[in-house]
Amino acid sequence: MKKIFDLASELGLSEEDILPYGWYIGKVNWKVLNKLKDKEKGKLILVSAMNPTPLGEGKTTTTIGLGDALNLLSYKTIICIREPSMGPFFGVKGGAIGGGKSKVIPEENINLHFTGDIHAVTSANNLLSAMLDNHIYQGNELEIDINQIFWKRCIDMNDRQLRFIVSGLGGKGNGIPREDGFDITAASEVMAILSLSREIQELKDRLGNIIVGINKKGNPVFSRDLEAHKSMAVLLKDALSPNLVQTLEGTPAFVHGGPFANIAHGCNSLISTDMALRLADFVVTEAGFGADLGAEKFFNIKCRIGNLKPNVVILVATIRALKYHGGVKKDWEKENIDALEKGLPNLLHHIYIIKEIFGLPVVVAINIFSTDTEKEINFVMNTLKEKGVR
Residues 6+ apart with CB under 8 A from 108: none
Q: pTM of the full predicted structure?
A: 0.92
Query: Cα-Cα-Cα-Cα dihedral of 258, 259, 260, 261, to 10°?
Result: -120
Q: Which amino acid is at 380?
A: V
Query: With 90 as the cut, is the pLDDT of residue 277 above it?
Result: yes
Q: Are 224 and 218 in contact (CB under 8 A)?
A: no
Report the C-alpha gap between 16 and 24 in whole angstroms. 16
From the list 25, 82, 89, 91, the residue with the least C-alpha distance to 59 is 82
Mean pLDDT of 124-146: 97
Q: What is the pLDDT of residue 169?
A: 94
**Element of type H or E holding 99:** strand 98-99
Of 97-111, 238-252, 361-375, highest mean pLDDT? 238-252
User: Residues 327-348: pLDDT tens digits?
Assistant: 888 777 888 899 999 999 999 9
CA angle 25, 31, 36 (to 5 degrees): 95
Q: What is the pLDDT of residue 258?
A: 84
From the list 189, 188, 197, the residue with the least C-alpha distance to 239 is 197
Query: With 90 as the cut, is the pLDDT of residue 135 above it?
Result: yes
Report the C-alpha gap between 132 and 135 in whole angstroms. 5
From the list 9, 11, 4, the residue with the least C-alpha distance to 79 is 11
Task: Assign residue 203 a region (left: φ > 0; alpha: ψ between -120 and 50; beta: otherwise).
Answer: alpha
From the list 289, 327, 258, 299, the residue with the least C-alpha distance to 82 is 258
Query: With 80 as the cut, is the pLDDT of residue 46 above it?
Result: yes
**Element of type H or E holding 183:** strand 182-184
Residues 6+ apart with CB under 8 A from 99: 58, 60, 61
Q: What is the pLDDT of residue 96?
A: 72
Report the C-alpha gap between 102 and 81 in whole angstroms. 13
User: pLDDT category, 121, cuts 50, 70, 90?
Assistant: very high
Report the C-alpha gap between 358 and 343 in whole angstroms. 23
Query: With 70 as the cut, is the pLDDT of residue 91 above it?
Result: no
The structural architecture, per CATH, of the domain 117-236 is: 2-Layer Sandwich (3.30)
Q: What is the pLDDT of residue 150?
A: 96
Mean pLDDT of 300-316: 95
Domain 4-113+239-387 adopts which CATH fold?
A: Rossmann fold (3.40.50)
Query: With 70 as the cut, is the pLDDT of residue 87 above it?
Result: no
Query: With 90 as the cut, is the pLDDT of residue 94 above it?
Result: no
User: Residues 147-201: pLDDT tens digits?
Assistant: 999 999 999 988 899 999 999 999 988 999 999 999 999 999 999 999 999 999 9
Its sign, for the CA torsion 74, 78, 81, 83, is positive
Q: What is the pLDDT of residue 378?
A: 94
Residues 6+ apart with CB under 8 A from 308: 44, 273, 274, 277, 302
Report the C-alpha gap between 50 and 354 in whole angstroms. 11
Q: What is the pLDDT of residue 93?
A: 61
Q: What is the pLDDT of residue 365?
A: 95
Alpha carbon distance, N-terminus to C-terminus of the chain: 35
Domain positions in the chain are: 4-113+239-387, 117-236
